């Protein structure tokens, strides 16, 4: 349905997006993960036709949208990271304005406004000014405004940043319903791994402007299938202990944590005895030792060396 082909963007000789290829099939829900500055928002801006790519193409049903963006604009709804609303207008007035400029038919606009307000659970407060709303309510109106023209594809750029749990759950529920019940194709970016795990069939992981991994959750987790993740709680910290552990042949990666360290080692390698020995030499006690089942967060960390919120 929608695909990018070697899509690139360069700002002042800095390549922000570097030849990325991604695709969305009809009715799919796809996550786009990446740390800050990975190039997610620039990618979304190019897909949605707000930004012209330096090179590459965006195709909708096999046809390029670069020369004629109106094709994609008709079928695309974008929920930006910012609250793209008029704060001095009420929720209803905002939706009416955006509905009109989206050319929603006059006789159906009123019903459509009530429908989207119902979807985001704000029918009761539609007459109130947006500036009086909480952050979560504003984000819900932000989503409603992108749904007015009943888009086939919905791009959500971190739609749950800085909001209360109730609004967050409401937004997640709305997105899931749109995907499952209405068949809306979703491209979802978030800092919250659990949201992506919960909502998306497939995930793209971006870093430094490149797609570094992609696939379903199980496919991504299989990246770590040859590794064990071990959380070690220690009585104290020591740089020399860290260096000792790094020198173990079966250890692939060591990161300091608040309470000790996190070790990624080759699958099945028994490093416990070596670890105890090394800790004793440094006069540090091992308080707790736990081999974890890998999560997408671990995959992300493994691939980028950063957590999602870095």
Partner 1 sequence: MGSFIKKDLLVFWRDRKEILAALLLPIALIVILNFAFSGIFNDDQASINLDVAIVQDDDPSAGLERFKETIQEGDFSQAEKATMIEQAASIEPSRLIHDFFNNKGLKEWVNTKELPEKEAKELVDNGELDAIIKIPKGFTYHVSSAIMLNKESEVALTIMAEDQSAEVRALQNIVNSFIDSLNLQFALGSKAESAATEPELPQGGKEVVEGVDTYTISRYFTIAISTLFALFMAQTVALKTVTEKRERVFNRIVLSDSNPLYFLLGKTVSTFILTLLQMVIVFASLQLLLDIFPGKPFAFWLGLMVVMTAFALTVAGLSALFTAMTLNLTNSNAVSGLSTLIIMTLGVLGGSFFPIQGFPEIIQKMGEWTPNGLTQTVLIEWIQFGNADDLLLPIIILIAVFVVCFGIGMSIFPKRGRI
> Which residue ranges make up the site for partner 1 (CB under 8 A)?
48-50, 52, 68-70, 73-74, 76, 78, 80-86, 88-89, 93, 97-98, 100-103, 129, 145-146, 149
Contact 31, 200 (CB under 8 A): yes
Placement of tokens 């990271």 in the chain:
81
Closest approach of partner 1 to the CB of residue 127, in Å: 13
Closest approach of partner 1 to the CB of residue 86, in Å: 6
Q: What is the DSSP track for 202-234?
A: EEEEEETTEEEEEEEHHHHHGGGTTEEEEEEEE
In terms of CB distance, is 95 or 251 closer to partner 1?
Answer: 95
In terms of CB distance, is 95 or 200 closer to partner 1?
Answer: 95
Take residue 198 and report the two structure tokens written for it.
């919960």
Q: Which of 203, 176, 231 has its CA nearest to residue 296?
A: 203
In terms of CB distance, is 93 or 259 closer to partner 1?
Answer: 93
Q: What is the DSSP track for 151-174?
A: -SEEEEESTTTT--HHHHHHHHHH
**CA–CA separation, 277 vs 268, rounded Å?**
19
In terms of CB distance, is 53 or 294 closer to partner 1?
Answer: 53
Closest approach of partner 1 to the CB of residue 251, in Å: 45
CB within 8 Å of 182: residues ≥ 6 apart: none
**CA–CA separation, 227 vs 265, rounded Å?**
6
**CA–CA separation, 2 vs 292, rounded Å?**
37
Take residue 255 and report the two structure tokens written for it.
């990161």
In terms of CB distance, is 63 or 281 closer to partner 1?
Answer: 63
In terms of CB distance, is 128 or 282 closer to partner 1?
Answer: 128
Closest approach of partner 1 to the CB of residue 305, in Å: 31
Closest approach of partner 1 to the CB of residue 239, in Å: 45
In terms of CB distance, is 160 or 304 closer to partner 1?
Answer: 160
As beta bridge partners, residue 145 has none
Closest approach of partner 1 to the CB of residue 85, in Å: 7
DSSP structure class, residue 241 = H
Mutual orientation of helices 91-101 and 135-147 as an angle, nearest 10°?
20
Closest approach of partner 1 to the CB of residue 159, in Å: 13
Closest approach of partner 1 to the CB of residue 68, in Å: 8
Cα–chain-centroid distance for residue 131?
A: 27
In terms of CB distance, is 5 or 84 closer to partner 1?
Answer: 84
As beta bridge partners, residue 168 has none
Contact 279, 223 (CB under 8 A): no
């Amino acid at each position: 349905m929608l695909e990018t082909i070697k899509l690139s963007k360069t700002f002042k000789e800095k390549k922000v997006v570097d030849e990325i290829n991604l695709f969305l099939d009809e009715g799919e829900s796809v996550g786009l993960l990446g740390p800050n500055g990975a190039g997610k928002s620039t990618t979304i801006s190019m897909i949605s036709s707000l930004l012209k790519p330096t090179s590459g193409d965006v195709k909708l049903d096999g046809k390029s949208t670069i020369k004629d963006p109106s094709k994609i604009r008709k079928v695309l709804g974008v929920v930006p990271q910012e609250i793209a609303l008029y704060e001095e207008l009420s929720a209803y007035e905002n939706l009416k304005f955006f509905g009109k400029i989206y050319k929603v038919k006059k006789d159906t606009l009123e019903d459509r406004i009530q429908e989207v307000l119902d979807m985001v659970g704000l029918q009761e407060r539609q007459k109130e000014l947006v500036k009086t709303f909480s952050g979560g309510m504003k984000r819900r109106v932000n989503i409603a405004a992108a749904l007015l023209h009943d888009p086939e594809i919905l791009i959500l750029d971190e739609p749950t940043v800085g909001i209360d749990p109730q609004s967050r759950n409401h937004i997640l529920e709305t997105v899931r319903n749109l995907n499952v019940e209405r068949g809306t194709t979703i491209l979802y970016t978030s800092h919250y791994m659990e949201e992506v795990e919960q909502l998306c069939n497939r995930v793209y992981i971006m870093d430094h402007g490149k797609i570094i991994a992609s696939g379903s959750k199980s496919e991504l987790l299989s990246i770590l299938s040859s590794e064990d993740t071990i959380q070690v709680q220690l009585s104290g910290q020591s740089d020399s202990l860290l260096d000792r552990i790094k020198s173990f042949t079966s250890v692939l990666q060591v990161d300091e944590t608040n309470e000790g360290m996190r070790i990624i080692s080759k699958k099945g390698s028994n490093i416990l005895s070596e670890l105890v020995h090394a800790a004793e030499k440094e006069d540090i006690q091992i308080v707790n030792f736990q081999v974890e089942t890998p999560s997408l967060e671990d995959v992300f960390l493994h691939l980028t060396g950063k957590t999602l919120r870095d």
